[in-house]
A and B are shown apart, each in its own frame.
Chain A
Amino acid sequence: MLKRALAIISLLIIGYWLAQGLAGVPFGEDKMLVGQYYLDHVKEQTGAVNAVTAIVVNYRGFDTLGEVTVLFIASTGVGALLWRKKRERTAKTEGSIVLTTGTRLLVPFVMLFGVYIFIHGHLTPGGGFPGGATIATAFLLLYMAFITYEIPHKAFEKTEGIVGMAYVLVGLIGLAIGGYFLYDWIWQDWKFGADNIGRLFSGGFIPIIYTIIGLKVGTELSGIIDNMLKEEVSE
C-alpha cells in the first residue's frame, strides 16, 4: 500500500514536471525549421509523395538501417536464447475446422495486403515495417491454426540474410556513384520516373529499399514467432 502510494506520488511529480516543461512549447503554431524544408523539397529531391517514407528512407536512411539491424539482433538474440538441439511444436489441439478453413482462405489475402503495403511505401501510409509485420501476421495465423505448421526454415533464413545484405549493397552502390552512403542513384542520376510522380514507378529507390525491408521484417518476425512457439522435447 505504501509502495503503491509512493509510486503514484512520484509519477504525479514526474508528470507535473514534464507538463511544466511542455507548457513552454506552443501548440499548433508553425515552428517547423527542417520540416518545412522537407515538405517543400520532398517531391523534386526524392520523387516520393509520402514525405514520411522519403525522410525515413532517403533523408535519414542511416536510421532505418540501424532499425533493421536492431530487428536482426533481436531475432538472432531470441534464436540464441532459446537454442536447443531438439525442439518441436508441442501444441495439443488443432484449431477448429472453421478456424483452419478460414486461415487457409485468409492467408493469401493477408500476404497480398502486406506486399501491397510495402510496394506502395512511397505513395500511401505504411512502408516496409508495417508490410513486413503484416506478412509475419499471416505466418502467425498459420502457426495458430495448425499444430504442425513450420515455416520453411532454410529459405527463410537465407532470404533474411540476403535482403539484409541487399540493403547495404544498395547503399554501397550509392556510395560508389554519388559519393555518400545510401545516395539515391536511381532518382538523382537516372531520373527514373521523373515525369511519373505519384504513380507506382517513381520514388527513386524507396520502393526497392522498402521491398527489401518488408521481406526482411516479415521473415525476421516469423522467425521470432517460430522460435518462441517451439518447446524442448526429450527423446
Chain B
Amino acid sequence: MNALAAIGEALVLIGTFFYFLSALGLIRMPDVYNRMQTSTKSATLGSLGVMVGVGIWALGTDFGSAAWLVKTIAIATFLLLTNPISAHALIRAAYKSGIPLWEGSVVDKYREHLEAKEKVAEEAPAEEGGEE
C-alpha cells in the first residue's frame, strides 16, 4: 500500500459517492429538468473520479503500468466531452415535446424567447425565420 494506491482508492470512493448522489437525485427531484440537472452532473463527476482513480490505483500496485492510466484518462476525457452533449440533447428534446416544468418554477425565459420569435415571424411573414 503506497501513496499512489491510497490516492486512487480515495478518488474511487469519491466517485462512487457522487454516483450515489446522482441516483439519489433521480428519486428526490420533482421534475425531468431537475432530475437531469442533478443526475448528469454528478454522474459525470463520479465517472471521472472512478476512472482516473482506477488508473492511479493501478500505478500503485505491482502489476500496474502507465498503460492503465493512459487508457482510463482517454475514456474519462471522452465521457467528459460527450455526457454534457447528451444531457443537453435530452433536455432540449424534453422541452420541445412539451414536458411541463415543475409547478414551483418561476421563470421560463426560453418560452418567452420562442414566443417573441413567433411574433416577429408573424409580423414579417416574408422572412422565413419562424421555424426554429
Contact = CB atoms under 8 A, between A and B. Distances in A.
Nearest to A103: B85
B131 A92 contact: yes
B132 interface: yes
Contacts of B89: 95-96, 98-99
A102 B132 contact: no
Interface in A65-95: 92-93, 95
A106 interface: yes
Nearest to A97: B88
Contacts, number: 22
Contacts of B131: 92-93
A99 B131 CA distance: 18
Contact of B92 (A96, A102, A105, A109): A96
B66 interface: no
A93 B93 CA distance: 11
Interface residues of B, number: 10
Contacts of B106: none
Contact of B82 (A92, A93, A96, A102): A102
A93 B85 contact: no
Contacts of B92: 96
A105 B84 CA distance: 14
A96 B81 contact: no
Contacts of A98: 85, 88-89
A102 B84 CA distance: 10
A56 to B, nearest CB: 24
Interface in B53-78: 78
A92 B96 CA distance: 13
Given A93-B131, A102-B85, 15 more contacts: A93-B96, A93-B132, A95-B89, A96-B88, A96-B89, A96-B92, A98-B89, A99-B85, A99-B88, A99-B89, A102-B81, A102-B82, A105-B81, A106-B81, A106-B82
Interface of A: 92-93, 95-96, 98-99, 102, 105-106, 109
13 contacts: A93-B96, A93-B132, A95-B89, A96-B88, A96-B89, A96-B92, A98-B89, A99-B89, A102-B82, A106-B81, A106-B82, A106-B85, A109-B78
Interchain residue pairs A-B with the least CB separation, the first 3: A102-B85, A98-B88, A99-B89
